[in-house]
Amino acid sequence: MNPARYAREIPHRYRLEAAKCKKCGAVFFPHRLICLKCGHRQFETIKISEHGKLETFTVIHTPASDFKDQSPFALGICKFPEGVRITAQIVDIDLEKVRIGMKLQVEFRRIQTDGHAGILSYGYKFVPVI
């Protein structure tokens, strides 16, 4: 991943920060400059809950080249109490045990390594709540 983009995404990538519209209360993740619902431009920063519910998922058998060493893996969309949906890899579970509706927790893990001497990218992944 491009280092500048990586740095720019740190607030939402590391702290799970979303933007809540000060006028209508709509929540966006990642942040937006203009509210999609009412056009307002002022937001407050809120933290997204660590636990969400799996709404849907798929199993990736033929990933992009950067993720070849992790194949096959599950990619899920989780809905959080604040109303936002986040897409991430589901880890620490056998693929055949992944179920829609299961409770998942956000954890920060290494996402990829940019070559032998390159930067390590970290981001969120979902793990089952036990």
Instruction: Name which position in 8, 15, 31, 40 contacts Zn ion (CB under 5 A).
Output: 40
Nearer CB in complex with Zn ion: 7/36? 36
34 in contact with Zn ion (CB under 5 A): no
Binding mask 46-85 for Zn ion (x = CB under 5 A): ----------------------------------------
Measured CA to CA, the distance from residue 106 to residue 54 in angstroms comes to 12
Instruction: Name which position in 7, 10, 34, 38 contacts Zn ion (CB under 5 A).
Output: 38
Contact 79, 102 (CB under 8 A): no
Instruction: Name which position in 37, 47, 53, 110 contacts Zn ion (CB under 5 A).
Output: 37
Chain residues binding Zn ion by CB under 5 A are 21, 23-24, 26, 35, 37-38, 40
